[in-house]
Structure 1
Amino acid sequence: MLKMLFKMLCNCGSVEHVAGEVRRSSLQLYRGFQGPGLLFCCNIDMAATALFKALRCVRSRAAAAGALRLFCSGFPQTVRVLYDGECPICVKEINFLRLVQKKAGKVDFVDISAAEYDGSRHGGVSYEMAMEEMTVIDENNKVHRGVSAFAVMYKAVGLGWLARFITLPLIRPLMDRSYIVFARNRLKWTGRDKCTTGRCAK
């Protein structure tokens, strides 16, 4: 359970955000446990407090972020699928994948068109970068783009056979070429061909 908690915290991004999540999570755990469970919650709170006190001693925010990434490297994160919530075709596929997902919570679907989207919390992938082509961040925070991103996404939701199919030596080149065509024309085909900068709402 402690590992699950820190996995969630490591997805939060900034040190300040993580600090707030620690307080909220430890309070919820405290309310949910009785007897010996209280000691467990106190240990979480003390460990988290010590971690963030140490991070505050780091001179720069960049160094603090680096320290946080180092700490979080031992906790594999969920797969994050970045998608354009203003793209009807994309949304239909995401809704389908949510239905077929075999392990609830293993995949986070992140809408890049949301006003609160922050690329610094998602592998440094900006809105503009994510709009260029399909982007998925795996459990080890590695960024995958294009057909490789689809393969990671399909495998994560339980469609491993489809992931293997689109990466077959004879199929992959065709998939790459087809996706390039789609990526270049996606905005046009969804009625947003005049969108060049900023949020591309239809």
Structure 2
Amino acid sequence: MSNHLSSSSHKVEVFYDGECPLCLREIKLLKWLDRKNRIQFTDIAADDFNAAEYEKTPAQFMDEIHGRLPDGQWIIGVEVFRQLYSAVGLGPLVWPTRLPGISHALDFGYQVFAKNRLRSTGRCTKETCEVG
């Protein structure tokens, strides 16, 4: 597995949980929209995925969506979605999400989702959802 985007045509790499039903719906839509192959999709649930190759822990990848730009810059949360939808040509729909009130609401909504993702998709275990 490469620690770099595999093609200069990729605009963003997304690290997604391939075992999350809600996440997979979004990824399937993005793959369908990505007709110019601008997105590199990396499944963090794949058997051969090794978080350490990216100098991150599995928990970091599981806590919230991660993305990486061609220059190696990491992005997380709602910004990943902005970059993904811009990469597939939906930039005009993305810019309003940067407006202060909308941006804060989206960030809050995503944080609530990310914190409860395993519970809401029926994937809680004693290790993943138990409060310490």
Tell me the TM-score normalized by structure 2: 0.83
Which of the pair has the greater relative contact order for Cα pairs under 8 Å at 6+ separation?
2
CA contact (8 A) 1:187 1:195 kept: no
Greater per-residue helix proportion: 1
Secondary structure in structure 2 of the residue aligned to 1:115: coil
Partner of 1:88: 21
Residue 186 of structure 1: how far off its partner (Å): 0.5
Q: Distance in 1 between matches of 2:93 and 2:53?
A: 29
Instruction: Say whether 1:111 aligns with 2:43.
Output: yes
Q: Distance in 2 between matches of 1:195 and 1:103?
A: 42
Residues 1-12 of structure 1 aligned to structure 2 (within 5 Å):
12=2
Q: Distance in 1 between matches of 2:30 and 2:104?
A: 24
CA contact (8 A) 1:134 1:146 kept: yes
Post-superposition Cα deviations, 1:73-117, rounded to whole Å, max 9, x if no partner, equal xx957321000001000000000001111412x211110001110
Residue 121 of structure 1: how far off its partner (Å): 3.9
Q: Distance in 2 between matches of 1:168 and 1:82?
A: 25
Residues 67-146 of structure 1 aligned to structure 2 (within 5 Å):
78=10, 79-104=12-37, 106-122=38-54, 124-146=55-77
The number of aligned residues is 126
Identity, % of aligned positions: 35
Aligned in 2, Cα 1:125/1:76: closer, same or farther, shift over 3 Å?
Answer: farther
Q: Distance in 2 between matches of 1:195 and 1:153?
A: 33
AA matched with 2:72: N
Instruction: Say whether 1:184 aligns with 2:77.
Output: no
Greater per-residue strand proportion: 2
Residues 28-43 of structure 1 aligned to structure 2 (within 5 Å):
none
Residue 194 of structure 1: how far off its partner (Å): 1.8
Q: Tell which deviates more after alignment, 180-189 or 162-171.
A: 162-171
Post-superposition Cα deviations, 1:145-186, rounded to whole Å, max 9, x if no partner, equal 111121112112222123212222221010011111101111
Q: Distance in 2 between matches of 1:86 and 1:195?
A: 17
Partner of 1:24: none
Q: How well do the aligned residues superpose, as a CA RMSD in angstroms?
A: 2.3
Secondary structure in structure 1 of the residue aligned to 2:101: coil
Q: 2:92 aligns with which of 161, 168, 173?
A: 161
Q: Which structure 1 residue ranges, 4+ long, deviate > 6 Å from structure 2?
A: none
CA contact (8 A) 1:147 1:176 kept: yes
Instruction: Say whether 1:171 aligns with 2:83.
Output: no
Tell me the TM-score normalized by structure 1: 0.56
